[in-house]
Amino acid sequence: MLRIDDLRVNYGGIEAVKGISFEVPEREIVTLIGANGAGKSTTLRAIAGLVKPALGRIHLQAEDITGLSPDRIVSKGITLVPEGRHVFPDLTVLENLKIGAYLRTDNLEDDIKWVYDLFPRLKERSWQAAGTLSGGEQQMLAVGRALMSRPKIMMMDEPSLGLAPLVVKGIFEIIKEINRQGVTILLIEQNANMALHIADTAYVLETGRLTMRGTGKELLNNEAVKKAYLG
């Protein structure tokens, strides 16, 4: 569904992503794991159109989407749940969800119901200011807001960051459920253990290069991965 060929991204003189190629097949959960600074966020930002690749192509099905604006990429069906969630703190939960649908002009009722069915906690807090939600609830809202664009592919940047283990477990259950309902997932994580447990396909990213590929299970059982990422 999504194909990345020889993607390179530089920031000034710094090569953050040094020519990576991988695929995200339809309906799979694909994860990129790697240490802080490996280039995970940069990869997602390039796919989302937020940074311009120095080289390489990004295809969604047969279409070359390299260099399209972020809005165009959202309208093609690719959405990003950014690191740190970035909900609008002074707006209500419902207002935040509606912002996720800003490119659409059709009826949102069904989608709001969909998100509230996935996250009953958000429904209860519909009129609450997003800034007063707990970290886990804000992560749910960031996911819900992304779903409001009706994505084919949802990319997630470290959804577990700064959350308690039990809350992380809940978020990962929901990611699996969203995937089961037909949304393809590209997940990047420093929390390799959780990510590998739900991934169909997994890659290791090391200082801008992909160094390993396998099923989630294969990488969970790989000695080098255990040593470097599963501590």
Ligand X SMILES: Nc1ncnc2c1ncn2[C@@H]1O[C@H](COP(=O)(O)OP(=O)(O)O)[C@@H](O)[C@H]1O
Sites of contact with Mg ion (CB under 5 A): 40-41
* Residue 11 binds which entry of ligand X, Mg ion, none, CB below 5-8 Å type-dependent: ligand X
100 binds, among Mg ion, ligand X, none (CB under 5 to 8 A by kind): none
Torsional class of 165: left (φ above 0), alpha (ψ -120 to 50), beta (otherwise): alpha
62 touches, from ligand X, Mg ion, none (C-beta below 5 to 8 Å by class): none
Q: Please, what is the Cα angle at 151 between 172 and 21, to 5 degrees?
A: 80
Q: Which is nearer to ligand X, 22 or 119 (CB)?
A: 22
Which residues, in sequence order, are CB contacts of 67 under 8 Å at separation 6+? 49, 52, 53
Question: Where does this chain bind ligand X (CB under 6 A)?
Answer: 11, 14, 16, 34, 36-42
Nearest distance from C-beta of residue 18 to ligand X, angstroms: 10
Residue with smaller CB distance to ligand X, 41 or 149 = 41
Task: Give the nearest distance from C-beta 194 to ligand X in angstroms.
Answer: 16
* Cβ 36 to ligand X shortest distance, Å: 5
CB of 209 to ligand X, least distance (A): 12
- Which does residue 36 bind out of ligand X, Mg ion, none, counting CB within 5 to 8 angstroms by kind? ligand X
Q: How far is the CB of 150 from Mg ion (least distance, A)?
A: 26
Half-sphere exposure of 4 (CA within 13 A, CB side): 23
40 or 85, CB closer to Mg ion?
A: 40
Of the pair 41, 139, the CB lying nearest ligand X is at 41
Please say which residue, 38 or 101, places its beta carbon nearer to ligand X: 38
